[in-house]
Amino acid sequence: MPQQFSSIFRRYHWQDIEQAIESKTSADVERALCKQNLSPADFQALLSPAAEQYLETMAQKSRALTQQQFGHTMQLYAPLYLSNVCSNICSYCGFSINNKLRRKTLDEAEILAEAKALKRKGINNVLLVTGEAPKTVGVEYIERAIQILKVHFAQIHIEVQPLQGQEYGRLIASGMHGVSLYQETYHRASYREHHTKGNKTNMDARLNAPDQIGQQGVHKIGLGVLLGLANWRTDSLFCALHLRHLQKHYWRTRYAISFPRLRPCAGDYTIKHPVTDRQLVQLITAWRLFDNTLDLNLSTREQQDFRDAVCQLGITSMSAESSTQPGGYAENTQAALQQFEISDERSVEQVHSMLNIKGLEVIHKDWHWA
């Protein structure tokens, strides 16, 4: 059994990494830009303030590497929210148990109605999302949802509570392609501050959850930090260490990185570490230079203009016309059910044609079971 990531994580200290990133120089950045295989130290250089003046070079290189690896393609998907019931409190999330919100968990007929509505929009790749509520949306519920949906969609990924290893195996056997599980932040004090109730308070358990997924041989694992909770540069470096650990042990699996920037939601949350558009471009292109095999994903949290500007700079997967509330596609449900507000409200068709105009072909799957 491979060592789990939490024991590796303990060898590193947040402040040391933060200082190392801050102290990178132009020479470190230029050295990283000349390399083909980047180390975590090179990634630190690309994340550093010193790299800000190299943004244009990073963007050009990122674009070329992405085209080399993925061609002129973009995967399009939509989140399908199955339930907004959650037993946890996360300070930044509208589904937190302490928020007054009408709770809803879709039944089989409602799941099917959502599938049909998404198909009509031209979506063929879905991300199933639930809150963390094992009694309401445990593995049996998720398995049944996958069984219902797999005949309708080319690919199904999930973003749900951490499960046990064999439970992931069960979902893979049912037709699940991938799992997204974001650490949110690798900064212990911020993690404690923002996760105050429920299973998610156990930071080490969350650090080790991707190991459980990898051990089952899933096709794709999605990682990421919630941009805005702590220093994005340091958090992203820890995420890269996490990625390298998983790649070393579960090398048959593909990996994806997402860039969720905090958005307004129900509740009262102030973003303490805001990330600017320029910094987000630096982050996206730094990831591409660090690893040209990664899927890089950008959601409708971001505004239309920003998404249009960066879709050729490294991003390989985008959501479109997303609803973040259960039943949001088939019914005209109230916005009070939603997790957060989306920014890019264009239809799938509009996003599709924007991508075509930019010379990108929309794809709905990147892999097929043999």
Binding-site ranges for ligand SF4 (CB under 6 A): 86, 88, 90, 93, 95-96, 131-132, 200
Residue 30 vs 341, nearer CB to ligand SF4: 341
User: To which H or E segment does residue 41 belong?
Assistant: helix 40-47
Closest CB 355 distance from ligand SF4, rounded Å = 29
Closest CB 299 distance from ligand SF4, rounded Å = 14
Burial 30-44 (b: 16+ CB within 10 A, else e): eebbeeeebeeebbb
Task: Provide DSSP, 63-75.
Answer: HHHHHHHH-SEEE
Closest CB 339 distance from ligand SF4, rounded Å = 7
φ and ψ of 369, to 5 deg: -60, 135
Residue 131 vs 210, nearer CB to ligand SF4: 131
Neighbours of 345 (CB within 10 A): 12
Structure tokens at 202: 């156990």
Structure tokens at 35: 């390399």
User: Which SS3 state, helix, strand or coil, does residue 187 take?
Assistant: coil
Closest CB 202 distance from ligand SF4, rounded Å = 12
Residue 82 vs 360, nearer CB to ligand SF4: 82
Q: Which long-range contacts link 247-253 to residues 24+ away (Cβ below 8 Å)?
A: 249/2, 249/211, 249/214, 250/211, 250/214, 250/215, 250/217, 250/221, 252/217, 253/214, 253/217, 253/218, 253/219, 253/220, 253/221
Adjacent-strand bridge partners of 257: 223, 296
Closest CB 179 distance from ligand SF4, rounded Å = 14
Residue 46 vs 239, nearer CB to ligand SF4: 239
With beta carbons less than 8 A apart as the criterion, state whether 310 and 298 touch.
yes
Among 265, 223, 235, 288, smallest CA distance to 90 is for 265
Residue 24 vs 200, nearer CB to ligand SF4: 200
Closest CB 88 distance from ligand SF4, rounded Å = 4
User: Which SS3 state, helix, strand or coil, does residue 97 take?
Assistant: coil
Return the amino acid letter for 247: Q
Structure tokens at 287: 């990831």
Closest CB 159 distance from ligand SF4, rounded Å = 9
Closest CB 285 distance from ligand SF4, rounded Å = 27
